[in-house]
Amino acid sequence: MIVTAVGGSTAFLLNLYQKDKLNGILQSRLNGTKQTASHLANLIALVDIVEIDKARDSDTIIFIYDDPCSQLAKRKGIVSHYYENQLREIEVPPEAWLDSLALFKTCSQLTESTSETKTQAGVEGVSLKAEIVPSKIQIMQPYIAVLTQSKRGRRFALISLQNLDNYEASTTFIINSNGETVWSADGAEYVQTAMLDTGVTFETLRNLSRESLKSDTAKVELLGNDGLISYAKVTDDWALMTLSYKPTAFKSVHFALRQSLLLILGFIFLCLFIGKMVAQLVTQPLLDLKRHAELVGQGNFETRLEVKGRDEIATVENAFNVMTDKIIQLIEDTKEKINIEKELELAEQTQKMLMPDHRVDLKDFRFSSYTQTASKCGGDWWGYLEIKRPNKKSVLLIMVGDVTGHGTSSALITASVHGGLSILSTWIEENPEIGTDPRSINQYFNRAVYESAKGVIGMTLFTAVVEPEAKLMYCSNAGHNLPYLISPDKDGKKANVKVLSRPGTPLGYVKDTVYTDLDTYEWTPGSQLFLYTDGLIDCTLGEKVLYDRKSLRKALGAYGHLVGADLMNQLLNDRSKKIGDLPTADDITAVICEFKDT
């Protein structure tokens, strides 16, 4: 009866909890859509009235231009300083939109629409008109291209929607009064896929948009088989809609219900188990079991229970003996594990000795580095050699590599590569010209890795030879991440970031691989070479990218005016802010080589 009462009351409370949480999710989606629609409407009105010069400091208007439809008049416009560097980095100027066929067609459509309005209402009645300009140009955040017309004239603006609510398994789009999808945050194909997954039809969306535009109401509804849609009016012609996959939207509620049910079942099972144990405590065999358990607790693992009969008590006694044997085995395994941990710690310390110090200061060059392994031993490695020449400045040989995987096997390969570097340094002392061709060096290490792993494990390696007198750098890349050359500008407040080298074949898979690609770059004193492994940029949480190559290049452009350790610390802090508490899944190595002005 107690179990029945607990079960009935629990079911009632869980039902109330589910309704409350589901209503909370629906209200949250509705509020988010209403706020986005209102925000977008305000931005469109702002585009019409804002002074162009003031748009310079806007973080929502990417750029704005007057008279965009006139090919004869000189367009007047401005790009927000928040987005100038971004557009410059991706090499997409405003003219990519201003000179597009899509804008030309939209200008014509707006002219026809305005003519009809004048015929119906007279010139004095013409109010703000706006049209969305279709665009497939991609930048680093979602945006909407809008052409407006009012008594003030025509304006074309790119509006940032970087604060758009981005729910999991959902898509946001705009439908006009004709029932046409005029804009989508994820593209028309994604909207069609979402409709197929949720069982929502275009006809349904058209009817909802007309209802929203007619009644000026915002709603959230469950549609189709698995659809959750929220919609709100933006302008007299546009309705903003967010379509979500219902199972994903309600996933957190269902998960909480399952966990609650499991907890309740566990509680009921615990009550039954305790009741059974209490009943058995009155029997003598369980008292014997208790006495033997105390002996084991005191460290006497030689004691055993004498098993008699085949009843439940005998089963428990036999299980107690088995448990004692397993405890003994566990103790032995723990001792062995402790020994292995000590060996791994020694291997970790040894591997750290295979790489240079985090700060190395040479006559013409200075190194700052950072390393972090995903486990006790890692597969990342970097090193350098100063190749001394008679009556000339020393040439610098610098390498950074990444063995496939991480752990003990990868660490052994890095040890063999370091040993190969030691042998190579002896050869170079006898014949310095050996160390001036990075292709030959990659070929040498390819054979060393192949002989160590027989083609089972590979390694990427970037090799550069820096000539200080000629101010040249010769590079050969064996499948490694492309490095960057950071050059300061004249005032020292910004930096130019250049991608170096070309990807090639990784080391160790084919014994006689020949490396023929050689890239030559000029450098100036004060420049910095930035090398890294893929553990620095491969940061994802599920399908969400937290930090990647674009993030790194953007950070280098922003902080490239810093030097050495200061630049390294700033890059790592920027990455840490973006990835949060994300665990380290792969080894990380980053190296900055400063070219001194000597």
pLDDT, tens digit (0-9, with 9 covering 90-100), for 75-86: 788 998 988 888
* pLDDT tens per residue across span 463-481: 999 999 999 999 999 999 9
What is the maximum span of the chain, computed from C-alpha positions, in angstroms? Answer: 106
Least confident of 171-175, 266-270, 337-341: 337-341
Least confident of 369-373, 512-516, 583-587: 583-587
Residue 430 is assigned to a structural domain of this protein: yes
Average pLDDT of span 223-250? 85
Residue 555 is assigned to a structural domain of this protein: no
Angle (CA) 525 528 533, round 5°: 160
- Compute φ and ψ for 310, nearest 5 degrees: -130, 20
Label residue 359 left, alpha or beta by phi (over 0 means left) and psi (-120 to 50 means alpha): beta
The better pLDDT of the pair 597, 596 is held by: 596
The residue ranges of DSSP E strands in 133-206, in sequence order, are 143-150, 153-160, 170-176, 181-184
Least confident of 60-69, 409-418, 455-464: 409-418
In 3D, which of 239, 63, 57, 37 has the Cα closest to residue 145?
Answer: 63
Q: How many CB atoms lie within 10 A of CB 503?
A: 14
- Compute φ and ψ for 469, nearest 5 degrees: -80, -45
Residue 313 is assigned to a structural domain of this protein: yes
Residue 110 is assigned to a structural domain of this protein: yes
Asked if 408 and 278 sit in the same domain, the reply is no
Q: Which two tokens stand for residue 364?
A: 């013409």
Place of tokens 């508490």: 581
Length of the chain: 598
pLDDT in the model for residue 576: 94
Asked if 337 and 359 sit in the same domain, the reply is no
- Compute φ and ψ for 330, nearest 5 degrees: -65, -40
Least confident of 22-31, 45-54, 305-314, 424-433: 305-314
The residue ranges of DSSP E strands in 277-335, in sequence order, are none
Asked if 334 and 444 sit in the same domain, the reply is no
CATH number, domain at 282? 1.10.287
On the question of pLDDT at 176 being above 80, the answer is yes
Average pLDDT of span 193-211? 85
Q: Are 537 and 552 in contact (CB under 8 A)?
A: yes
On the question of pLDDT at 125 being above 50, the answer is no
Range of the domain at 80: 50-164
In 3D, which of 357, 368, 358, 383 has the Cα closest to residue 596?
Answer: 368
Average pLDDT of span 126-151? 84
- Compute φ and ψ for 131, nearest 5 degrees: -130, 145
Average pLDDT of span 132-157? 86
Asked if 437 and 499 sit in the same domain, the reply is yes
On the question of pLDDT at 398 being above 50, the answer is yes
Average pLDDT of span 540-544? 90
Q: With bands split at pLDDT 50, 70 and 90, how would you rate the model's confidence at 283? A: low
Asked if 400 and 482 sit in the same domain, the reply is yes
Asked if 338 and 371 sit in the same domain, the reply is no
CATH number, domain at 141? 3.30.450
d(CA 561, CA 182): 43
Asked if 321 and 403 sit in the same domain, the reply is no
On the question of pLDDT at 490 being above 90, the answer is no
Asked if 424 and 525 sit in the same domain, the reply is yes
